[in-house]
Amino acid sequence: MHYAIIGLGILFFMTSAWAQEAPNDPMLRADGWLELKFDGKTPNQFAAQSDGAILVVSDKSVSLLYKPLEVNLEHTPKLRWSWKVDRTVPATDLSTKGRDDRSLAIYVSFPFDYERAGFWERFIRDIVVAFKGEDTPGRVISYVWGGNYPQGSVIESPYLKSAGALIALKQATSTTGQWMDETVDIAKDYERIFGEPPNQPYQIAISADSDDTEKKTIGWVKDIRFIKN
């Protein structure tokens, strides 16, 4: 057991405060979105567009737009969406806390499951709940536009360690200014990362992160949906 990792996890969860708020955009509020903001960090700007897309502007800032999910991965195991970036942050090291800016990311969160959790996840859970509440995700998969990793690379989350992973889909230098379609198999990705079939996800989130590089990124996400094939 790597006790240094445990220490990092405890330090992160105990010193990183966040607040859940309704987003400024009334259309996003009406659609059930919430925003997760971090103490001491400038939040991103999220805005609903007339074509159904969500504009994400990150200017030396970071926050997440998220909403609850009701999905059965046995029937619809794949997630599909489209995204576009007009302005990117430089390539960063997604594996390192404080150096992991990205132009866009889609997060899928899973509830904590004691029976599935490893030793570290169980060890840290009571502390997480005490500081962050029962609703804090147990495991998270993030699909990322950023860094310079080969497509499909899996990177352990620098924050969640073994309870989270990033999958690189687009590099920081990928084509800008045009819509890109993505389809990922959530069920298969979960199993290859965590070594077991998934439980049902319960939250989805959109984010961008530019507070470390102090740059500005502009992107859009639309047509997020779970599908069978």
The residue assigned the tokens 């995204």 is: 83
**Residue 10 pLDDT exceeds 50:** no
3-state secondary structure of 128: helix
Q: What is the CA radius of gyration of the chain?
A: 17
**Residue 90 pLDDT exceeds 60:** yes
CA distance 37 to 21: 8
Q: Which CATH class is domain 3-227?
A: mainly beta
Q: Give CA separation, 113 vs 132, 135, 136, in Å.
A: 16, 12, 12
Give the per-residue pLDDT at 117: 60
- Residue length of the chain: 229
CA distance 148 to 55: 23
Tens digit of pLDDT for each residue in 118-146? 555 555 555 454 445 555 556 899 999 99
CA angle 46, 52, 57 (to 5 degrees): 20
- Asked whether 166 and 157 are in contact (CB, 8 A), the reply is yes
- Asked whether 114 and 138 are in contact (CB, 8 A), the reply is no
Longest dimension (CA), the chain: 51
**Residue 88 pLDDT exceeds 80:** yes
**Residue 2 pLDDT exceeds 70:** no
Tens digit of pLDDT for each residue in 26-71? 999 999 999 999 889 999 999 999 999 999 999 999 999 999 999 9
pTM score, whole prediction: 0.84
Q: Provide the residue ranges of all domains of the chain, joining segments of one domain with +.
A: 3-227
